[in-house]
A and B are shown apart, each in its own frame.
Chain A
């Protein structure tokens, strides 16, 4: 499922990583099972699922991941999902690796995704298994040494298996994302911990965008500044 150098565990028993308290920590799950560290992917190979007391084929025991929003029925859910890598480069060199890869592919720039607002994956069989990530801060990192350029209006899309096999290398500093995950049993607090990752290839698409006009009048308090709404233009990205 993943390159050999990557492993994924889900460990709700860990309280803190990289100096940050984790949102997906708990002692017992919502079915009263003690929380457990579960090795989901070991050296790139899928080993286990996050289980509630509802068995699935070949996995008939809970591993302490039955979770739910108050008032909902529990299902197997993420707690603290932790990605580890055995093929790392120092975080400071990741940018150079991105530039090198862009040059190798004959591309004028690579994209650096700094922050995202969220994302989702389609998991039903009726629809294609695809994911979309909604980035907030995206930079074009130019291969010819021009300064990085902040761009907007681009989403990452793809299918999980194809995208994940294109990870070339990872950074050496795990970063924590604390958030809320929604699924069949509602919203539950979760954490994801992973280093930065360099993908050889990733599909991006222009974000659906309505050409709404910015407000007509200047914001209160700035009436004399001559600013009307969203004045600074930012370049769109051409994938």
Chain B
């Protein structure tokens, strides 16, 4: 097809959904209250309280005005009236910059308000939350002109209601394909009214200084001719979340995240690609590394990339003890525990409790009995560090709670939003959402606790003792992991004198939940805070992990050729 002529005046389309958003500010203590359960207020009284709480905030007022109108009047022939309506607005302010080889190469500013409307018809037992019935998104004006705001809210609500009508019929038709569940799980959990108006958040950062720092850091390439790429990027975000629903809930919360990431890659003489990408993410700008500290980190990164080029390749398979430093252990906890404790409801017609690997593990042992795991979003700091996964009220207006998911190795609970799963009928305050996206069970601040922790040095000594006993020349210690839990910095720890040797080109082949349950024999007393970007920002706090037997083997990497000719000379 050729020649699609469009008048220049046509509105440019906004690219937006799915922008990696990171946010979370230390939530200051602010008034919040949940109405005592047992005495729910009358719907009218609840809405009166909601209006009172929203007073003075133009956006909340506009949302509530349209909510009232939609609640009272939305009715299409042969379609039920809504039993639940929810408006969530995420106002996002984002500064993004990236430098490479000493110069800025990307510089972005974004400010956008995303509205998500959910209209549910049916009832809590079975409703229209299916397919398009999961909500409509739209972009709202940035100022608080009430009519301009309400106009977009009005149209999005209309779409959402009509979609709900269609979705409920589709869902009921789809369910006819499956045999009836004798103990059906409700579609939506009841939750008490929540009113919590927190202050909004904004970015407080010296942007110009940071851009210079990014340039300075990447100028280090001049000292490392063997390194092929050096970049440094910063992404600073403030996300303010506004939520109102037809149950009278009104919340407003603000979070900031400040994320700086370094990245570098090189090729070994044999063509193997090697890279490192340390990141620093915090909720308060003053916790970011200083310029000098970041320069130091960058040097360390570049030196390890250069060292990796010279490191021997892991050629032969190894089966024996492997020690994961806290940084590496963190990634394992995130992927093997974090993802599996989420109470994510499976697709229609699937019998499992959740979609994760712990779906059938309720009240069974999933970790060694000296370990417990709690997700506590109410934790704001740990060892003086801000936790980006912290929040007071979740994206569905439910108060954050500490949830013991694994107690002495036994799985006792899942993290839940307002979508119930089998045997778990109410939210425990973990329904979180990325801007414009639907909420789902998510981590907040996941903390791994141990009843028998040892220092990292003692753990290393144990590795040496074990390989000596097994007659092996060395064991392995992992410093950091890359994508898919592949080692980035892997060291051989020699039995005879304990010295370490950096190696490359290895993967773990049996690093799974079975290994975690049966082969994890000890943890360190060195819990590390790892703040993570995601749909909603999360924090994982976990120590070093020692496995008594894991397989380390050669990675199946392609042997790419080196560049044909050398990099441009530094001097003319």
Contact = CB atoms under 8 A, between A and B. Distances in A.
Interface of A: 23, 78, 117-124, 177-184, 189-190, 192, 213, 215-217, 219-221, 223
B78 interface: no
B529 to A, nearest CB: 40
Interface string B1-24: 111111110100000000000000
Contacts of A121: 1-3
A112 to B, nearest CB: 19
Nearest to A178: B8
Contacts of B10: 180
B357 interface: no
A24 to B, nearest CB: 11
Nearest to B158: A215
B155 interface: yes
B1 A179 contact: no
Contacts of A192: 5
Contacts of B69: 217, 220, 223
A219 B1 contact: no
Given A181-B3, A190-B5, A213 B147 contact: no
B76 A182 contact: no
- Between B2, B150, B155, the greatest number of chain A beta carbons within 10 A of the residue's beta carbon is seen for B2
B291 interface: no
Contacts of B383: none
B162 interface: yes
Q: Secondary structure of the B side of the interface?
A: helix
A178 B73 contact: no
Given A121-B2, A213-B76, A216-B158, A178 B151 contact: no
Contacts of B2: 120-123, 182-184
A62 B65 CA distance: 62
A124 B3 CA distance: 12
B154 A180 contact: no
A183 B3 contact: yes
A179 B8 CA distance: 5
Interface in B61-104: 65-66, 69-70, 73-76
Interface residues of B, number: 27
Given A118-B7, A180-B6, A217 B1 contact: no
Contacts of A180: 5-6, 8, 10
Given A120-B3, A123-B2, A181-B3, A216 B161 contact: yes
A187 to B, nearest CB: 8
A175 to B, nearest CB: 13
- Between B4, B5, B74, B158, the greatest number of chain A beta carbons within 10 A of the residue's beta carbon is seen for B5
Given A217-B70, A220-B151, A179 B5 contact: yes
Given A213-B162, A220-B147, A118 B74 contact: no
Contacts of A184: 2
Nearest to B150: A220
A220 B7 contact: no
A219 B6 contact: no
A219 to B, nearest CB: 6
Contacts of B146: 220
B10 to A, nearest CB: 8
Contacts of B6: 117-118, 179-180, 182
Contacts of A122: 1-2
Contacts of B162: 213
